[in-house]
Amino acid sequence: MQRFNYPSPAQWPALQLRPAQQEAAEVEQRVRAIFDDVRQRGDAALRHYAAAFDGAALTELRVSAAELAAAAAAVPAALQAAIRQARQNIERFHGAQREAELRLETMPGVECWRRPVPVQRVGLYIPGGTAPLFSTLLMLGVPARLAGCPDIVLCTPPTKDGSVNPVILFTAALLGIDTVIKAGGAQAIAALTGGTESVPAVDKIFGPGNRYVTAAKQLAAQRGVAIDMPAGPSEVLVIADASANPVFVAADLLSQAEHGPDSQVVLLSDSAQVLDAVTAEVQRQLAELPRRDVAAQALRESRAILLGSAADMLHFSNQYAPEHLILATDHAEALAADVTSAGSVFLGHLTPEAAGDYASGTNHTLPTNGYARSYSGVSLDSFVKKITFQRITPAGLRALGPVVETMAEAEGLRAHARAVTLRLDSIGS
């Protein structure tokens, strides 16, 4: 990790930069070409990319009912039990987010209400590769089901033998998701955007991915399909004071670093001794990790920063707007009260970020790259639309109509005013 001692606030913006990414223009150009290919060739393009990128020769893109049914036999009982418990916790937290229909009279005879309506067809993208994220399927599939989305389409990359990771299939079956497509990367997002012979086009796309998936989601948004958020490489910021346990903090930093070489971890402390101890512990634990090569690459772009006070650390964090924020301090509750920008916050010494990644109940699909300044993480609200309704009685129109007429005339919108005037004339004074 790169070490910085007492940088001035003027130096903070440079320290808050995320790792440099491949040229955005180059990524966008490649993604646009994939979109055009999938639009023109449909399933044939998806099979081509499965062979080129995943090494899989596919005859069928859809996972069969037999494949879904057989998946459970390949998932250990202990893991099945853990997934069921995580699902229960996620359901409890997200189920409590339901909102009742709101109805009220804004003035006598003018009734307004708002009704939550589920997004009708959603696409869930679950990365595969070296770490198939079945936990992300729980985070997206559970609220989609709770919201009542009628159609859920899951895309996930195939392995080289043309199968899908059995844990992902077991989780899909557990959630009642039976439309599972063997497609990954930007090509999966392209298929969900425009549809193919095997892939239904959807109204909104959810799920994390690499820079190509992120660029593809942004392109989908330009083409009229909503997305959950711009989500890039994973990141964590830890605020650790003298009360922090360096062993715990090092483990938290490495839990994000092992996600991928472009992940970023940031450690803030007002104690030089803590920074020294954590840095040493990171190196010790890194040597024990199966994914140490991946984590080591991420650590090259990560930072350990010594600041003067808790207030400085919190100010730096709010500017950085981390996806995950860990408050490794005895005074976490007090510090948390002033957090203004973070995807999800973990308080105290016994609350690892990994708990939120898997099973505490909160959602782990969170804004990265500073988007936590303006975006929330995925929730039940992400899967519903809030539609407003209104109804006006004759008495209500007599009271409200002149207000609308006056405002419309002042804006020069005569047809707006006439739409009210004609109705007032029809009901008489």
How many CB atoms sit inside 10 A of residue 110's CB? 17
Residue 238 near residue 328 (C-beta atoms within 8 A): yes
211/328 Cα distance (integer angstroms): 31
Q: Find where tokens 């036999």 sit.
A: 73
Cα angle 169, 214, 205 (rounded to 5 degrees) comes to 55
- Confirm or deny that 125 is annotated as ligand binding: yes
* 259-285 pLDDT per residue, tens: 888 899 999 999 999 999 999 999 999
**CA–CA distance from 51 to each of 55, 59, 125, 158, 286 (Å)?**
4, 11, 19, 10, 34
Asked if the model's pLDDT at residue 19 lies above 80, the reply is: no
Residue 84 near residue 174 (C-beta atoms within 8 A): yes
What per-residue confidence (pLDDT) applies to 32? Answer: 96
350/238 Cα distance (integer angstroms): 13
- Confirm or deny that 363 is annotated as ligand binding: no
* 44-91 pLDDT per residue, tens: 999 999 999 999 999 999 999 999 999 999 999 999 999 999 999 999
Tell me, yes or no, if 258 is annotated catalytic.
Answer: no
CATH 2.30.40.10 fits 232-376, yes or no: no
CA atoms within 13 A on the CB side of 46: 28
Three-state DSSP class for residue 386: strand
Tell me what the mean pLDDT of segment 107-114 comes to: 97
- Contacts of residue 271, Cβ cutoff 8 Å, sequence gap at least 6: 240, 241, 242, 306
Residue from 94, 324, 353, 364 carrying the catalytic annotation? 324
- Confirm or deny that 285 is annotated as ligand binding: no
Q: How many helices (H) and strands (E) does the chain have?
A: 17, 14
Q: By C-alpha distance, which of 117, 144, 77 is closest to 363?
A: 144
Q: In what order do the strands lie in the sheet with 110-118?
A: 102-107, 110-118, 384-392
Q: By C-alpha distance, which of 177, 192, 97, 93 is closest to 386?
A: 97
What per-residue confidence (pLDDT) applies to 82? Answer: 97
- Confirm or deny that 357 is annotated as ligand binding: yes
Q: By C-alpha distance, which of 120, 150, 122, 116 is closest to 137?
A: 122
- Contacts of residue 334, Cβ cutoff 8 Å, sequence gap at least 6: none
- Confirm or deny that 222 is annotated as ligand binding: no
Tell me, yes or no, if 324 is annotated catalytic.
Answer: yes
* 166-206 pLDDT per residue, tens: 999 999 999 999 999 999 999 999 999 999 999 999 999 99
- Confirm or deny that 49 is annotated as ligand binding: no
Tell me what the mean pLDDT of segment 92-112 comes to: 96
Q: Where in the chain are all domains bearing CATH 3.40.50.1980? A: 24-101+119-227, 232-376
Secondary structure of 321-369 as H, E, C letters: CCCEEEEECCCHHHHHCCCCCCCEEEECCCCCHHHHHHCCCCCCCCCCC
CA atoms within 13 A on the CB side of 350: 0
- Each residue of 223-259: b (16+ CB within 10 Å) or e? eebbbbbbbbbbbbbbbbbeebbbebbbbbbbbbbbb
Confidence of residue 24 (pLDDT cuts 50, 70, 90): confident
Confidence of residue 209 (pLDDT cuts 50, 70, 90): confident
What per-residue confidence (pLDDT) applies to 429? Answer: 61
- Confirm or deny that 234 is annotated as ligand binding: yes
Residue from 258, 281, 323, 353 carrying the catalytic annotation? 323
Tell me what the mean pLDDT of segment 7-32 comes to: 86
What per-residue confidence (pLDDT) applies to 397? Answer: 97
CATH superfamily of the 24-101+119-227 domain: Nitrogenase molybdenum iron protein domain (3.40.50.1980)
Asked if the model's pLDDT at residue 322 lies above 90, the reply is: yes
What per-residue confidence (pLDDT) applies to 269? Answer: 98
